[in-house]
Amino acid sequence: MPKDFEFEKSIIELEDRIRELQAISESGKVDLSREIKAISEKVDALKNEVYGNLEPWQITQVARHINRPSTLDLVKCLCGEEFVELHGDRLFGDDPAIVSGIGRIGDHRVMIIGHQKGHDTEENIYRNFGMPHPEGYRKALRMMKTAERFGLPIVTFIDTPGAFPGIGAEERGQSDAIARNLAEMSGIRVPILCFVTGEGGSGGALAIGVGDRVFMFEFSVYSVISAEGCAAILWNDPAKTKEAATALRLRATNLLDAGIIDDILPEPIGGAHRNHQMAADEIKKQIDKHLPTLIALKADKLLDERYKKFRGMGKFTREEELEHAQEQA
């Protein structure tokens, strides 16, 4: 994934100009602060205009940005040094595509579990591009059970193209690992907060996505299949990828309208990849807002509400069905 997008070309040109002027100004030859301020204001306005009108495929590109904050990036911003990573599924091995451990976010000690992508080719190969093997999902489940045993709330960060579909993964029970996580998460007796921070790819995302509250960053995506996969299956034509992205209704606003997520987290101007700390601060706001309420619930009530939340997804009245059909026409 390139660091810069075609739709950002005009923004990048202005930012390059600002850096040139700053270098001249810092050399002491001339004061260009007024010019720098004027161009900076123009850049901010342009970012708001561009990012306020992104199409679904463009949002997908932003969600995949190589500098998108990963789980470990967010852990560093949220927990600082107060995080201990835990490894292994106690059955086969450790999976670097899933990161887990105990940390402190503000006043709350929590179990953190998340997909982990890399920021360069070498790291992405090590992390398998954020696509977990079954041992990754079993590690996640082991950590959830540990959290339940010690009364720790669970925070998950979702950013994966999907579960790894390799032969070895299938031989070791990939589908079983995902299905088991879905079933077990519905009965975990501590609060679970889930954040879609980049790509939410199908069952590979859902396997750590059954929570009491589910949030998405505004430029993240969440769908049953990638736009490329959808284009290949429906049209056998990669040129239809943009059309597929629109048809999948994978934007945060679509998921909120459908009742799949509970809220949308705003991103820094130009996307979360431009400022990891600001992105992490938005996560912390939601944790501080929702976690005390969930902790106060008795376990049976917590599980009942979680069950109703997910059982209620996909239900439509006749009027809603007709309205949806008209939208698709």
Both 263 and 145 in one domain: the answer is: yes
Q: pLDDT tens digits, residue range 184-227?
A: 999 999 999 999 999 998 899 999 999 999 999 999 999 999 99
Give domain status of residue 327, yes or no. Answer: no
- Report CA-CA distances (Å) from 289 to 153, 221, 260: 14, 23, 19
Beta bridge partners of 216: 196, 264
Mean pLDDT of 143-150: 98
In a domain, 280, yes or no: yes
Query: Does residue 286 sit within a domain?
Result: yes
pLDDT in tens, 4-22: 677 888 888 888 888 888 8
- Percent of the chain whose pLDDT exceeds 70: 95
Residue 19 and residue 102 share a domain? no
Question: Under 8 Å CB-to-CB from 194, ≥6 apart: which residues?
Answer: 155, 156, 158, 208, 209, 210, 211, 213, 214, 215
State residue 1's pLDDT score: 45
**Is 1 domain-assigned?**
no
DSSP one-letter code for 55: -
Q: Per-residue DSSP letters for 195-222?
A: EEEEEEEHHHHHTT---SEEEEETT-EE
- Say how far apart CA 249 and CA 36 lie, in whole Å: 40
213-217 vs 192-201, strand pairing mode: parallel
Task: State the pLDDT at residue 36.
Answer: 85
In this predicted structure, the answer to whether residue 316 has a pLDDT above a threshold of 80 is no
Segment 83-91 mean pLDDT: 96
* Residues ≥6 apart with Cβ < 8 Å to 163: 131, 132, 137, 169, 174, 178, 202, 203, 204, 207
Same domain, 40 and 159: no
Taking 70 as the threshold, does the pLDDT of residue 77 lie above it? yes
Enclosing domain of residue 258: 61-319
- Residue 163 in domain: yes
Average pLDDT of the residues in 111-115 = 98
At residue 9, the pLDDT reads 82
Percent of the chain residues past pLDDT 90, beyond the cut: 75
Pair 34, 83 in one domain: no
pLDDT over 90 (residue 326): no
pLDDT of amino acid 16: 87
Task: Name the least confident of 116-120, 206-210, 267-271.
Answer: 267-271
Cβ atoms of 195 and 265 within 8 Å: the answer is: yes
Average pLDDT over residues 63-72: 96
Do 49 and 67 share a domain, yes or no?
no
For residue 324, is pLDDT > 70?
Answer: no
* pLDDT at residue 328 in the model: 65
Indicate whether 2 pLDDT > 60: no
- What is the pLDDT, as a whole number, of residue 220? 97
Q: Are residues 13 and 150 in the same domain?
A: no
269 plus 243 within the same structural domain:
yes
DSSP for residue 118:
-
| pLDDT surpassing 70 at residue 317 | no
- Whether residue 159 lies inside any domain: the answer is yes
Strands (E), 28-94: 83-85
Average pLDDT score over the chain: 92
- The pLDDT tens digits for 123-139 are 999 999 999 999 999 99
Q: How many domains does the chain have?
A: 2
Residue 328 belongs to a domain: no
Backbone CA torsion sign across 41, 46, 47, 48: positive
- Mean pLDDT throughout 294-300? 97
Check whether residue 274 and residue 169 sit in a common domain: yes
Residues 34 and 110 in one domain: no
Specify whether 232 is located in the same domain as 144. Answer: yes
Residues 186 and 296 placed together within one structural domain of the fold: yes
Pairing of strands 221-223, 192-201: parallel
Q: Are residues 20 and 123 in the same domain?
A: no
* Position 65 pLDDT exceeds 60: yes
Question: Is 230 within the bounds of a domain?
Answer: yes
- CB-based contacts of 98, cutoff 8 Å, min separation 6: 113, 114, 115, 116, 132, 136, 137, 139, 140, 208
21 in Cβ contact with 36 (< 8 Å): yes
pLDDT, residue 85, reads 97
Name the token pair of 174. Answer: 């990939």
Mean pLDDT of 156-171: 96
**Structure pTM?**
0.88
Could you give the CA distance from residue 184 to residue 252 in angstroms, rounded to a whole number? 26
* pLDDT value of residue 290: 97
Q: How confident is the model at residue 320 (pLDDT cuts 50, 70, 90)?
A: low
